[in-house]
Structures are given as C-alpha cells and as structure tokens.
C-alpha cells in the first residue's frame, strides 16, 4: 500500500511515535497529534473538537494509537474486589470514549475517492471469547467496548467510503513505558518492530476486511 497522507493520533506514545517514524522514512506525509505536543486530550470532548476540527486535509491512513493501561495511578484489577467506579470510568474515558470521539471526525477526514485505512489500537484482552484468565476487568471491558465502537463505525463509514477499511488492531506486547511493569515473562518486541508489523497488516486491508479485529500478524482475533 502506498500512502501519501497519514494521521497518527497518539503520536508521542511508544507505538504512535514508531508508526510516525516508519511512515516518514517511507516518504509519507505524517500529521501527528498528541496530548503532550498538541494539547489533544481524548477524554475532553472540547479538546477533540478543537484539535480535530482544525484539520482540513484528507488522509488515506488514520491510526488511533491512544490508550492507557493505568489511569491516575490505578493498576489493573486482579479481582472483582478491587473494582472502583472511578477507575472504571477513567478506563472507559481513555480507551473507549476517546477513540469514539475521534472516529466522529473520520468521515470528514478519510479519503473517499480511493483506498484508505482506519485502524484503532485495541488489545487481545478485549476479546470476550479469548478471556480465560479473568482479571484486568476495567481495561478488558473498555477494550471490548472500543471493539464494538470500531465495528459500528465501520458499518457507517462503508456507506460513504466505499474503498475504506476500518479495523481494530492488537499490536502484541510491545516494549514501551506503557507495558514495562506488566511484561514479565511474556515475549515482547521493540516499538519499531511492532510498528512495521502493524503497517504490514494495515497495508493489506481492503473494504472486504472492514469491521474486523486483527492482531499484529494479520490473524483474526475473536470478538
């Protein structure tokens, strides 16, 4: 896939910055947005409207690479006894509502006259079918919610963007500050390698793939 203009939301994060670097090295014009550089706070509707509303370009690649495993110091729960309403609402604000607010702008920002891809970073732990361990309840639920949001967005976008694929992606376990406390013995890859993997998957997507959930290798993840 030969992209010309890419929009990376969460461009200052580990995966977002690696995606931006890889695309730039390929000669793609990258617009990167983040909270630290551009003041884009995905938990603040007014902030999303201000920053995304100021964009006028059309993009053939849009990646929403925002998300958080810990919000306001609340670690993933090991049991339901640790459920906190505030922590759960924070998870949904960052990992589900934030991407939804961004997707509200995609119809205007995504290319219509040719192939385009929209990818939202999710996580395998958001798969209900694949949940055999329990725990991490708020994070799992928020990621399951964003999967549904992506599915709904894909249906709506297909009506106006005939050549577009809108998908959820599981990047695998990536070596970033986001995951360093939780990797343990799990195999993990550097952010640059994860970015290459994701771009390979995204580049192979067409409208026939829209509304699906894929991992870093291109395999379908069950809902």
* 59: CATH: 3.40.50.720
Total of domains in the chain = 1
Could you tell me if residue 221 is inside a domain? no
The pLDDT profile of the chain, 223 residues, written as one tens digit per residue, is 689 999 999 999 999 999 999 999 999 999 999 999 999 999 999 999 999 999 999 999 999 999 999 999 999 999 999 999 999 999 999 999 999 999 999 999 999 999 999 999 999 999 999 999 999 999 999 999 999 999 999 999 999 999 999 999 999 888 766 556 655 556 678 989 999 999 999 999 999 999 999 999 999 999 9
Could you tell me if residue 175 is inside a domain? yes
What DSSP designation does 222 have?
A: P
Could you tell me if residue 222 is inside a domain? no
Which residue range is the domain that position 166 belongs to? 5-215
Could you tell me if residue 155 is inside a domain? yes
pTM confidence score: 0.94
**153 touches 104 (CB < 8 A):** no
Could you tell me if residue 49 is inside a domain? yes
């Amino acid at each position: 896939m030969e992209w010309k203009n890419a929009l990376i939301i969460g461009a200052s994060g580990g995966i977002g910055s690696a995606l931006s670097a890889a695309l730039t090295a390929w000669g793609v014009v990258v617009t990167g947005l983040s909270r630290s550089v551009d003041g884009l706070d995905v938990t603040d509707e007014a902030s999303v409207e201000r920053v995304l509303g100021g964009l006028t370009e059309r993009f053939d690649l849009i990646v929403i690479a925002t998300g958080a495993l810990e919000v306001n110091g609340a670690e993933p729960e090991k049991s339901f006894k640790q459920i906190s309403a505030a922590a759960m609402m924070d998870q949904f604000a960052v990992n589900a509502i934030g991407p939804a607010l961004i997707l509200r702008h995609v119809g205007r920002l995504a290319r219509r006259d040719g192939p385009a891809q929209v990818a939202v970073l999710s996580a395998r732990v958001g798969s209900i079918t694949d949940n055999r361990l329990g725990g991490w309840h708020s994070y799992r639920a928020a990621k399951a919610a964003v999967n549904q949001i992506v599915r709904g967005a894909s249906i709506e976008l297909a009506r106006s963007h005939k050549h577009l694929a809108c998908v959820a992606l599981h990047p695998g376990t990536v070596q970033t500050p986001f995951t360093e406390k939780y990797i343990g013995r799990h195999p993990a890859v550097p952010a640059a390698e994860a970015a290459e993997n994701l771009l390979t998957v995204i580049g192979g997507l067409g409208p026939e793939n829209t509304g699906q959930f894929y991992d870093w290798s291109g395999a379908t993840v069950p809902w």
